Amino acid sequence: MTRRPGADRLGTTALIYLALAGVLAAGAVATAIDGGNLFATANLVDMLTRTSLTGFLAIGMTLVILCRSLDLSVGYTAALSSLVAATTMDGQVANIPLAVAAVLLVSGLVGAFNGAVTAYLGVNPFITTLGTGLIIKGYLDTQYKGPAGDVPALFQQFGYTRIGPVPVSALVMLALAAAAVWFLRSTRTGHHMYAVGGDVEVARMSGIRTGRTLMWAHVLCGMTAGVAGLLLAARFGTGSAEAYTNLYELDAIAAVVLGGTLLLGGKGGVAGTVAGVAILAVLDTVFNVMQIDPFAKDVLRGVVIITAVAIYARRQLDRTARRPRFAEGRAS
Amino acid sequence: MTRVRELLVRATNPTATVFVLLVLVFAGVFAMNPGFFEGPSLMAFLKQAAPLVILAAGQYFVIVSGNFDLSVGALVGAQVVIAARLIDGEESRTVPVLIVMALFGIAVGLVNGLITTALKVQSFITTLGMLLVLYGAIRLWTGGAPTGSLSEAFRTPGRLGIENVPVLGQIPWALLIMIAVGAGSVLLMRTRFGRILMAAGDNERAAALSGARVGTARTIAFILSGLSATVAGVLIGGFAGVSAQVGDGLEFTVITAVVLGGVVLGGGRGSVLAAMAGALVIEALFTLFNQMALPSTLRPAVQGAIIIAAVAYAARRRTRPVPTTATATPTPS
């Protein structure tokens, strides 16, 4: 039962990395025609820097989407976390551990709230997390009129330091992704997430505490949003409530889906998500290098996302057609 | 006694919850400002609420068939900008531009529907992509800021109405359009098409096996949503004037409204009237916030809390694994 999805996933993940290579190649050709070089150091740095923020959010998002849930509040959680981090640090190096702990606690609690309302009150996660996002937005808008707090230079290193062309934040993101891959493949809760996303009723009847599994996914998703908030604080040098206006949550969801994880849950993985994040980052860098109009960027992004998912869907057509759970009534 | 209990049971079913909620919010508004229920101010409220209610009807078709339409907000913004740019203040262009807008709305819905049903892309992703495309394309076309202006005739439905009506003062055209859309939607849900749509959302496979053209019905639902965004765009443009931002975030408000109306995300349950009532609840809530002079920054928080509470309340019965209620047919009306 747990082996088969693994075997399937390998095929899909390979396809996504092929797609990433394709996008890289196409981007390189396009920039070369334009007279640039996609693999110049500055562009590589730009590309890798872009992956880390969306990456953190998308890793957590993968977990909740695998459970057939969704989290639209991550952008707000990240903004809140950046403020918690910056105000707790308040310029003192000694406060850094405390601030990190505070951020993980707060973001974990937001996730726990999302998970509890979704799992135990039966509210559709779309509504739960939209509502949570609105609540946090209201709090942020009321409490913080502008940037607040002060991040010590030492912690800002997390946002800016590079090892060669690779930013530290991207390395941390990859390490977190590796941990998440291990978590999904090798722990009991990880396996339960696939089961819950596959069919909640069957999972329950097999003795899985489905509510608890969903809670875990949401808590972890909240905490990765917290880490994203830490990164925001490190980059800006201060906490910023305005961060939520960037609609990070939609980026994260797009990356997860580009990475081959089914929005209906039960299928996919973090390895694919990382490739999905990378595809979006490569696109953005290519658009940047070619100096494409920012509005045209949105158009192209939309088209690429739809096209990519349409291609995956083609591959899955036969398989999905035979899967009975798509025909079952929806539990949520 | 049993009748009272029966009434209580009916009042607590997910579809009826929204009407109870509506009464509660209106009671709150009345307590704050008894003058609200005098004709003119009530009409003004309904005029302002009409676009969201119409959007809710369009979104209802998509949601009840098991999909999402996240592109409506961007489409409303696009329609307003298109209207301003093409009309450019010339009265004579009003009708042709309205036709162009309707065709554009249909085209967007058709593309959403075909990508979702024929290419099997999840509607969340399809319409998210469409949102990005519309958002970017409109700003690309206008170079960032909308240009042109609307004609007087174009602004009439959103602003004016039948004047000098006793008691009510003015009956806004927007209200009449809203009632027409509501009546049309209710009738549509009673036709063969409506039943197929509901069946497609409830159990896609069973609907397909019994010979229904599920894909066609769902595509038509997207087209109806596109048309509702067009009508809402005309009303909002007329009421509020030209701005590319008018539609920003509207998709989430509309989906919230529909869900408040007891319509289940994932499809197959809920009535269109309740969905429209959900939109009225949200608008009434905004009015209540105004009456209470609630700081504008705090409003999202209160709104979020109320949404979660209301949906949790409505979901309370469904979460219990009682097969008899789970398979009960959705109440028509």
CB contact under 8 A, B307 and A254: no
**Of B49, B51, B55, which is closest to residue B70 (Cα–Cα)?**
B55
Domain residue spans of chain A = 3-318
Residues in chain A, pLDDT under 50? 1-7, 9-10, 318-332
CB pairs under 8 A between A and B: 164
CB contact under 8 A, A302 and B130: yes
**What distance separates the 2 farthest-apart alpha carbons in chain A?**
60
Contacts of A332 in chain B (CB under 8 A): 265-266
Q: Residues with Cβ < 8 Å from A55, sequence gap 6 or more?
A: A170, A173, A174, A176, A177, A255, A274, A277
Position A316 scores a pLDDT of 61
CB contact under 8 A, A124 and B129: no
CB contact under 8 A, A127 and B203: no
Asked if B268 has any chain A CB less than 8 Å from its own CB, the reply is yes
- Whether domain A3-318 has CATH 1.10.3470: the reply is yes
CB contact under 8 A, B298 and A263: no
Contacts of B116 in chain A (CB under 8 A): none
pLDDT (tens digit, 0 to 9) for every residue of chain B, 333 residues total? 566 666 666 655 666 778 888 888 888 888 888 877 777 888 888 888 999 999 999 999 999 998 989 999 999 999 998 888 888 878 888 888 899 999 999 999 999 999 999 888 888 889 999 998 998 888 888 877 777 778 887 888 877 877 777 777 778 888 889 999 999 999 999 999 999 999 988 888 888 888 888 899 999 999 999 999 999 999 988 888 777 778 788 888 898 899 888 888 877 888 899 999 999 999 998 888 888 888 888 888 888 888 888 888 877 765 444 444 444 444 444
Would you tell me which residues 46-105 of chain B have a C-beta closer than 8 angstroms to some C-beta of chain A?
Answer: none
Q: Go through A171-206 and write b for each residue having 16 or more CB atoms within 10 A of its CB, e for each that does not.
A: ebbbebbeebbebbbeeebbbbbbbbbbbbeebbee
Position A163 scores a pLDDT of 83
Place of tokens 């596959």: A198
Contacts of B140 in chain A (CB under 8 A): 293, 295-296, 299
CA B151 – CA B145 distance, rounded (Å): 19
Q: Provide the shortest C-alpha distance from residue A265 to chain B (in Å).
A: 12
Closest by Cβ to A299, choosing from B136, B297, B318: B136
CA B231 – CA B80 distance, rounded (Å): 10
Which CATH architecture describes the domain B49-318? Orthogonal Bundle (1.10)
CA A31 to chain centroid: 28
CA A137 – CA B84 distance, rounded (Å): 32
What is the C-alpha radius of gyration for chain A, rounded to an integer number of angstroms? 20
Q: Could you say which DSSP state residue A247 is in?
A: -
The Cα-based distances of B220 to A111, A156, B109, B112, B217 in angstroms read 37, 52, 8, 10, 5
CB contact under 8 A, B255 and A126: yes
Place of tokens 């997910």: B14
pLDDT tens digit sequence for A92-138: 888 889 999 999 999 999 999 999 999 999 888 988 999 999 999 99
Position B219 scores a pLDDT of 94
Asked if B322 has any chain A CB less than 8 Å from its own CB, the reply is no
Residue A101 parent element (H or E): helix A96-120
CB contact under 8 A, A303 and B129: yes
Tell me the two tokens of residue B206: 């069973």
Position A108 scores a pLDDT of 96
